[in-house]
């Protein structure tokens, strides 16, 4: 169930196994054709067969295989993983046969997706700036927040605003910036926005260093897990003490998701 740091970890781990390999064949399993977006399996197959994988990159939570012509794009959603066994493991939905080795897309919940596009405009159209990229800048971030009536938790989960944050890192980032999740984006003070702007790349980079967060089912390279779950300040820590003020962390359902925060040091209101 990966967010940006977990996807980054996956990309790093699969890159050496994919780059400079040629796609010899591909399979879809059972009646999982619905995981192929924007075209049919057969159309996708015809597009990618014989193409060479030039480069593997990440955009938000998407994994992008740059082919000698076009792009093959994966999204892991909640439970997607890649494995390189000879045999397709249980819950494999899609496989690539490469000039050297096979890659299986293994996905217990079957929410993960595969799509082919001649260019990346379809992603760029729906995604906001990369929080670790050069176009994530304070002034436009602030201007966009000021214009929004959304609560900040939902705002940060919205991939068209900032791309790559998910439930874990939104909770962590809001704790770091001392912002209550229900605060309206447009009511954040300048100071709060600056804190938020700093916290986002800081926490994402720190998690990437620790190879992401593994609770239940994020793994890369067959069975390795990340370590960042040991560094979390609020997520999954309901009832435990806030590392900053020692008060009890609470969990509520908010913006449709489990939401963890410290009621003592994440104030209930913006102060603009």
Instruction: State which of residues 12, 45, 52, 110 lies at the interface with DNA (CB under 7 A).
Output: 110
When asked if residue 2 is in the footprint of DNA (CB under 7 A), the reply is yes
2 among known catalytic residues: yes
* Range in contact with DNA (rule: CB under 7 A) among 9-17, 19-27, 45-53, 154-162: 154-162
Instruction: State which of residues 12, 15, 17, 91 lies at the interface with DNA (CB under 7 A).
Output: 91
The Cα 13–Cα 228 span in angstroms is: 17
Under 8 Å between Cβ of 95 and 107:
no
* Range in contact with DNA (rule: CB under 7 A) among 17-25, 65-73, 109-117, 190-198: 109-117
When asked if residue 86 is in the footprint of DNA (CB under 7 A), the reply is no
The Cα 17–Cα 103 span in angstroms is: 9
DSSP string, 141-175: HHHHHHH--SBHHHHHH-TTTSSS--HHHHHHHHH
The Cα 89–Cα 29 span in angstroms is: 11
When asked if residue 72 is in the footprint of DNA (CB under 7 A), the reply is no
Closer of 57 and 148 to DNA (Cβ): 148
When asked if residue 263 is in the footprint of DNA (CB under 7 A), the reply is no
| CA 17 from centroid of its chain's CA atoms | 21
Instruction: State which of residues 1, 63, 200, 234 lies at the interface with DNA (CB under 7 A).
Output: 1
Under 8 Å between Cβ of 177 and 244:
no
Placement of tokens 């379809």 in the chain: 122
Interface with DNA: number of residues (CB under 7 A) = 38
What does the longest C-alpha to C-alpha distance in the chain come to?
59
Closer of 19 and 41 to DNA (Cβ): 41
The DSSP output letter for 119 is S
Closer of 122 and 264 to DNA (Cβ): 122
Report the residue count for the chain: 272
257 among known catalytic residues: yes
Distance between terminal CA atoms of the chain?
Answer: 36
Q: Produce one character per residue of 83-100: b if its CB has 16 or more CB atoms within 10 Å, e if not.
A: beeeebeebbbbbbbbee
The catalytic residue among 47, 58, 59, 61 is 61
The catalytic residue among 201, 257, 263, 272 is 257
129 among known catalytic residues: no
When asked if residue 103 is in the footprint of DNA (CB under 7 A), the reply is no
- In DSSP terms, which residues pair with 27 in a beta bridge? 95
In the region spanning residues 221 to 260, those forming contacts with DNA, defined by CB under 7 A, are 253-258
150 among known catalytic residues: no
Instruction: State which of residues 13, 22, 148, 187 lies at the interface with DNA (CB under 7 A).
Output: 148
When asked if residue 151 is in the footprint of DNA (CB under 7 A), the reply is yes
Under 8 Å between Cβ of 112 and 29:
no
Please give the positions annotated as active site. 2-3, 61, 257
Binding residues for DNA, per CB under 7 A?
1-3, 6, 60-61, 75, 77-78, 91, 108-111, 126, 148-151, 154, 157, 159, 166-168, 184, 213-218, 253-258
């Amino acid at each position: 169930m990966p967010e940006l740091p977990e996807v980054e970890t996956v990309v790093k781990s699969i890159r050496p196994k994919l780059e400079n390999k040629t796609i010899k064949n591909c399979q879809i399993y059972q009646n999982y054709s619905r995981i192929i977006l924007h075209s049919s399996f057969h159309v996708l197959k015809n597009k990618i067969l014989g193409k060479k994988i030039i480069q593997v990159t990440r955009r938000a939570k998407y994994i992008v295989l740059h082919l000698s012509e076009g792009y093959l794009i994966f999204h892991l959603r909640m439970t997607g993983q890649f494995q390189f066994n000879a045999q397709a493991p249980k819950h494999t939905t899609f496989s690539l046969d490469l000039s050297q080795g096979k890659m299986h897309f293994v996905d217990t919940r079957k929410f993960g997706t595969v799509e082919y596009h001649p260019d990346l405009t379809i992603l760029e159209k729906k995604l906001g700036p990369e929080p670790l990229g050069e176009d994530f800048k304070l002034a436009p971030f602030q201007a966009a927040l000021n214009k929004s009536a959304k609560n900040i938790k939902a705002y940060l989960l919205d991939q068209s605003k900032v791309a790559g944050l998910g439930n874990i890192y939104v909770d962590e980032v809001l704790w770091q910036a001392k912002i209550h999740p229900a605060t309206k984006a447009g009511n954040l003070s300048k100071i709060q926005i600056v804190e938020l702007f700093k916290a986002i790349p800081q926490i994402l980079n720190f998690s990437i260093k620790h190879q992401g967060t593994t609770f239940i089912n994020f793994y890369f390279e067959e069975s390795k897990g990340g370590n960042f779950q040991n560094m979390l300040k609020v997520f999954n820590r309901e009832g435990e003490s806030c590392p900053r003020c020692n008060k009890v962390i609470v969990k509520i359902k908010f913006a449709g998701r489990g939401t963890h925060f410290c009621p003592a040091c994440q104030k209930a209101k913006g102060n603009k």
